[in-house]
Amino acid sequence: MMAHRTHRIMVIGFGTVGQGFYELFNAKRRALGLEGSRITEIVDMRFGYTNMTDESHVREYLGNVDRTISSSDVVERIKASDADIVCEFTWVNYRDAEPAFSYMKAALESGKHVITTNKGPIALRYRELMHIASENGRKVRFKGTVMAGTPSFNILDLLPGARPVRVRGILNGTTNYILTRMSEGLSYSDALKEAQSRGYAEADPTNDVDGFDAAAKAAIISSVFGWDHPMDRIRVEGIRNITAEEAASGTKLLVYADRDEAWVRPQVLDDGDVLRHVKGVMNAIEIETDTLGKIYSMGPGAGKIETAQAALTDLVSISRSE
Amino acid sequence: MMAHRTHRIMVIGFGTVGQGFYELFNAKRRALGLEGSRITEIVDMRFGYTNMTDESHVREYLGNVDRTISSSDVVERIKASDADIVCEFTWVNYRDAEPAFSYMKAALESGKHVITTNKGPIALRYRELMHIASENGRKVRFKGTVMAGTPSFNILDLLPGARPVRVRGILNGTTNYILTRMSEGLSYSDALKEAQSRGYAEADPTNDVDGFDAAAKAAIISSVFGWDHPMDRIRVEGIRNITAEEAASGTKLLVYADRDEAWVRPQVLDDGDVLRHVKGVMNAIEIETDTLGKIYSMGPGAGKIETAQAALTDLVSISRSE
């Protein structure tokens, strides 16, 4: 096991992913050689701020819904913090990526590395964010924005020298679940209702069914691979008009990206295509490289511990690079 | 790009993989920050020894089939070499892993790291080899033994903290090609002949069709994951008796391993199983972990540049860890 530095970690946003990270980090830090590292502060607009982060205090903290604070107070807490890593787990906003963007900016400018699972700032304001990070000599890691902890764009870390040529993917579990259930005979609206009742789709399903979530992932992958496709220039078509027959013939909501273009749209995949056989909420990515041709990674694209694994991967990556 | 040391690399075995590595390393070393590193020596029992490794000399070297040398001469060349990394690309031998094992031992004992794509020494003599490596403070890397350069057991490098629970895989491309062609109507013997004519199967197909190659991979994965299943204790059943009907109903040559057992045998996979849809020479691995559940990696499991990518991955991994 490689030697690690000792880290003081501030968690911003203590919903499902934040709590998952708290549990996973504490369960695994000894095995990772991070026994000296601690989650030292937690802040969430609903529960306020705390620096008492042992289990019993955290349970109490989650009951204190009367201590809500504003996003500008959160920014002040970040600036004042003596943490060296900020983990940002707040909600996604595809309009201007706020308040997550301001949180990350405050963290970087006060000398902290940033780990996030939030697609907004990475899909919409990647260059701006990387510029701030580089000006301050800090890192931004965001594995959890594409396929949760399942290897996705970071699989290239295992392929030094390989150059990505093109990407296809099934990167939105909600729509893949709906299409899978439709291929088994359900109507679109019944499949959507079922996805909502199982917690896969939100009450307002727009971001998923209209393809915006998938487009954000196309933008993120493009940035990582050095292709310039900002989210607002990615052509997007969702699944609202897909029929049960189309679903049964192997229609999937496909994400595509190469150097020249990026798009999201329903596409019929033929039976010999491995991606056609990705069922339910599972995610999958096909990356074509110059040395290996097409390789695939598949697995969960969401979930409490599954997404926390991504943040843990980012944490160890930052720790080892110091 | 991280800073790298400068390496002097000795290549043992200059067949398809050795030549692929020579080409790939020279094409990619600048991009990898390894411009100061060189392949300084090449040795092959058929072509003899050379330390003139520029392209024109290597072309000449490959014509010199009258300079054959013995395996004990190869061992002497390894001991006398001033390389710091030995890349071993000789043939597989499931009886005693020789002469590859002696080459690796000589390399480690003379202070060199070892990279190999040879399954024999890792499947049969893992503990012995790791003991020698540890005694000499050197590393042995062997990504290419399972799924060539396609991420396989090393995908856990991207999942710090995750614990592997069980593995299933389609890890032999030759038998998967034969079964795929049988499912399309060919007889076993016609499918085998076709695989041989396309270079997927050897003249003596025993290692593939009787499952020994797959069993070697089960043993290697088990060692990496800390499960103790030496190759000679793995139950193996091959595909010689599979009928066209069984192939058409989704029979695959499956590799299985967990803490308690490891086996290789034909198994019918149902339609909802992603592994059923892995066609032709493609390889696939399913790894179940405590944090992510089941994740999958798929891609080529053989090939000149595809296997050379594995050795390049190992090389960069060793270089970064120093």
To the nearest whole number, what is the mean pLDDT of chain B? 96
Query: What is the distance in angstroms between the Cα of A26 and the nearest Cα belonging to chain B?
Result: 11
Q: A310: which chain B residues are within 8 Å (Cβ-Cβ)? A: none
Selected for mutation to probe chain B from A29, A286, A297, A306 (highest B CB count within 10 Å) is A297
Question: Cα-flanking dihedrals φ and ψ of residue B211, to 5°?
Answer: 90, 5
Cis amide leading into B121 (omega within 30): no
The predicted pLDDT at position A4 comes to 59
**Whether the predicted pLDDT of B66 surpasses 90:** no
DSSP strand E in chain A: where? 8-12, 38-44, 48-50, 85-88, 113-116, 140-141, 164-170, 235-236, 251-258, 262-268, 283-289, 293-299
User: Domains, chain A, ranges and CATH?
Assistant: 8-150+304-320 (3.40.50.720), 161-299 (3.30.360.10)
Whether A306 sits inside 8 A of B292 (CB atoms) is: yes
Q: B293: which chain A residues are within 8 Å (Cβ-Cβ)? A: 299-300, 306
Whether B295 sits inside 8 A of A291 (CB atoms) is: no
The predicted pLDDT at position B72 comes to 96
Question: Cα-flanking dihedrals φ and ψ of residue A303, to 5°?
Answer: 120, 155
Catalytic (active-site) positions of A: 217
Q: Return the closest-CA partner of residue B119 out of B200, B209, B213.
A: B213
Whether A312 sits inside 8 A of B160 (CB atoms) is: yes
Residues of chain A with pLDDT under 50: 1
Q: B151: which chain A residues are within 8 Å (Cβ-Cβ)? A: 151, 155, 158-159, 295, 297
The 10 Å Cβ neighbour count of residue B94 is 17
**Whether the predicted pLDDT of B148 surpasses 90:** yes
Position B94 confidence tier, pLDDT thresholds 50, 70, 90: very high
- The two tokens of residue B314 are 């190992």
The predicted pLDDT at position B4 comes to 59
The percentage of residues in chain B with a pLDDT greater than 90, rounded to a whole number, is 95
Whether B298 sits inside 8 A of A296 (CB atoms) is: yes
**Residue list for the binding site of B for NADPH:** 119
Is residue A220 within a helix (H) or strand (E), and if so which, with residue range?
Answer: helix A212-224
Query: What is the distance in angstroms between the Cα of A151 and the nearest Cα belonging to chain B?
Result: 7
List of residues 6+ apart from A6 with CB closer than 8 A? A34, A36, A37
Residue of B nearest to A151 (CA): B158
The predicted pLDDT at position A251 comes to 98
Nearest Cβ partner for A149 among B279, B292, B299: B292
**Residue list for the binding site of A for NADPH:** 119
**Whether the predicted pLDDT of B1 surpasses 70:** no
Whether B313 sits inside 8 A of A276 (CB atoms) is: no
Q: Which of A175-184, B3-12, B25-34 has the lowest mean pLDDT?
A: B3-12
Query: What is the distance in angstroms between the Cα of B36 and the nearest Cα belonging to chain A?
Result: 16
Instruction: Catalytic residue, from B105, B112, B139, B217: name it.
Output: B217
Instruction: Write out chain B in H/E/C secondary structure.
Output: CCCCCCCEEEEECCCHHHHHHHHHHHHHCCCCCCCCCEEEEEEECCCEEECCCCHHHHHHHCCCHHHCCCHHHHHHHHHHCCCCEEEECCCCCCCCCCCHHHHHHHHHHCCCEEEECCHHHHHHCHHHHHHHHHHCCCCEECHHHCCCCCCCHHHHHHCCCCCEEEEEEECCHHHHHHHHHHHCCCCHHHHHHHHHHCCCCCCCCHHHHCCHHHHHHHHHHHHHCCCCCCHHHCEECCCCCCCHHHHHCCEEEEEEEECCCEEEEEEECCCCCHHHHCCCCCEEEEEEECCCEEEEEEECCCCHHHHHHHHHHHHHHHHHCC
Is residue A18 within a helix (H) or strand (E), and if so which, with residue range?
Answer: helix A16-28
Cis amide leading into B99 (omega within 30): yes
Q: How far is CA A53 from the centre of its chain?
A: 24
pLDDT in tens, A205-248: 999 999 999 999 999 999 999 999 999 999 999 999 999 999 99
pLDDT in tens, B196-243: 999 999 999 999 999 999 999 999 999 999 999 999 999 999 999 999
Whether A151 sits inside 8 A of B316 (CB atoms) is: no
Residue of A nearest to B282 (CA): A295
**Whether the predicted pLDDT of B68 surpasses 90:** no
Whether B293 sits inside 8 A of A312 (CB atoms) is: no
Query: What is the distance in angstroms between the Cα of A114 and the nearest Cα belonging to chain B?
Result: 18
The residues on B that touch A, with CB distances below 8 Å, are 2, 24, 28, 31-32, 148-151, 154-155, 157-162, 272, 274, 276-279, 282, 284, 291-300, 305-306, 308-309, 312-313, 316, 321
Nearest Cβ partner for A158 among B31, B157, B292: B157
pLDDT in tens, B162-189: 999 999 999 999 999 999 999 999 999 9
Q: B154: which chain A residues are within 8 Å (Cβ-Cβ)? A: 158
**Residue list for the binding site of A for NADP(+):** 13-18
The residues on A that touch B, with CB distances below 8 Å, are 2, 24, 28, 31-32, 148-151, 154-155, 157-162, 272, 274, 276-279, 282, 284, 291-300, 305-306, 308-309, 312-313, 316, 321
Whether B292 sits inside 8 A of A309 (CB atoms) is: yes
